[in-house]
Homo-oligomer: A and B are copies of this chain.
Amino acid sequence: MTLCRGAEAHEGVEKGKYTKGLGQNNMAFVGDREDIVSISLTATQNFLEKYNIDPASIGHLEVGTETIIDKAKSVKSYLIELFARAGNFDVEGVDCVNACYGGTAALLNAVAWVESRAWDGRLALVVAADIAVYARGNARPTGGCGAVVMLVGPQAALVMEPGLRGTHVEHAYDFYKPEHTKEYPTVDGKLSIQCYLKAVDHCYDVYARKFSQAHGGARFSLSHVDFAVFHSPYNGLVQKALARLVLNDFLVAPETPGYESVQVYKNVEREETYFHKNLETAFRKLSEPVYATKTKPTTLLPTELGNVYCGSLYAGLLSLVHTQGDALLGKRVLLFSYGSGMVSTLFSFKVARSVRDMQIKADLTRRLSQRRFVDPKDFHASLALREERFCAHSWKPQDPKSDLFPGTFYLKAVDDQYRRTYKRSPPPPPAAKL
């Protein structure tokens, strides 16, 4: 399901606050019929079917999520049922938790597993999924929902560049979820932006140092990067982040041609510029052509689905595959992953093989066009229902199953011991040959 159409008018905010201000077009959400387990089951099973993957060929499965419905039982422990059917019970991995960074942690772990002595020749699956919801108010339009599945193994189309990653971690209370009875986070909005931009700066430093070490002392800059994908809480912040990378390029080599318009900023301290309006405007303008060519092609799903938390960055990567296809061959894709609290990493892929199959199977244009748009008031009603359900036992979902796409897992019931049972709507017919 997807929210849109008249949201600004309904909320009584100025026209363009969500579309131009946040830079968002639409937002995905689920009612009481789906939860973090069901959306992960749906994405994983559909992925296995689309790519015709034998569940027995998977030896490692990690889930990155911050949608916690149980403090001990992992989402992974539900997904294993999809592999148990094929007699495969030997699948390592659990859930990785650190706000929106869990998907990246899971991915890095899966890649390390394949490269380690423990690798048994099978493939790894990574599921990055979340349901992002906020209490009613300014933050609610920055929600979203989605699940991204990634297959990790040798002969990959997207190859992680070994050693090329810069991580920055710090203790911060920018966004966290201490309220156990609520699905909603506690957010310090200003601190969130500051932490995110600070993380961009510091990851840039570490990545640039490693890039230089790996390239005989060459200086890193965005000119070495063909595309830049960002964790996307909302598109406005992605634009700021790209501008921030340009600022970092500039501060390292301010005399480089092209920086004439921003020379006045060449001695700024980065720490003092997170809310520097003039500087921001100048670098936003300076970075516009870079944004248009290197980042805009990554923003389709994040602007249509909203913040997918752990899946956000990878929804951006899939958008890039969708918009570029095999024009990506040989290109370097830079990715910035951010999880509040905070853990962040800047890393890169080289596109080594055709992504055409991925582009076809993702089928984004058709799938986005099939979404059902609902009225903002129905969206709020859905979230009100989720509030009621959040800590409850002994209930059955009331949302109609008829709204679900074919092959969607859904919640059947939660019993008096809080045990959840799931079913799947009839799967789609096998895809026509293309």
Contacts and interface: CB of A to CB of B under 8 A. Distances in A.
A74 B94 contact: no
A76 B94 contact: no
Interface in A134-181: 162-163, 165-173, 175-181
Interface string A115-127: 1111010000000
Given A111-B118, A115-B115, A171 B80 contact: yes
Contacts of A118: 108, 111-112, 115, 162-163, 165
A120 B165 CA distance: 10
Contacts of A67: 71
Interface in A411-426: 417-419
A21 to B, nearest CB: 25
A54 interface: no
A237 interface: no
A73 B341 contact: yes
Contacts of A84: 170-171
A395 to B, nearest CB: 13
Nearest to A206: B90
Sort chain A's interface into a size bin: 35 or more
Contacts of A180: 71, 180-181, 390-391
Interface in A54-102: 66-74, 76-78, 80-81, 84, 89-99, 101-102
A109 interface: yes
A113 interface: yes
Contacts of A186: 417-418
A309 to B, nearest CB: 9
A142 to B, nearest CB: 15
A393 interface: yes
A71 B342 contact: no
Most interface-central of A162, A169, A339 (chain B CB within 10 A): A169
A84 B202 CA distance: 13
A343 interface: yes
A33 B68 CA distance: 26
Contact of A108 (B92, B99, B162, B176): B92
Contacts of A345: 92
Contacts of A393: 178
A340 to B, nearest CB: 7
Contacts of A177: 70-73
A394 to B, nearest CB: 12
Nearest to A59: B167
A428 to B, nearest CB: 24
Contacts of A166: 90
B341 A74 contact: yes
A325 interface: no
Given A93-B105, A181-B181, A74 B112 contact: no
B111 A418 contact: no
A185 interface: yes
A170 B88 CA distance: 10
A102 B98 contact: no
Given A77-B170, A180-B180, 18 more contacts: A72-B99, A72-B176, A72-B185, A73-B173, A80-B171, A89-B202, A90-B169, A92-B105, A93-B105, A94-B98, A94-B101, A94-B105, A112-B112, A112-B113, A118-B165, A178-B393, A179-B391, A186-B418
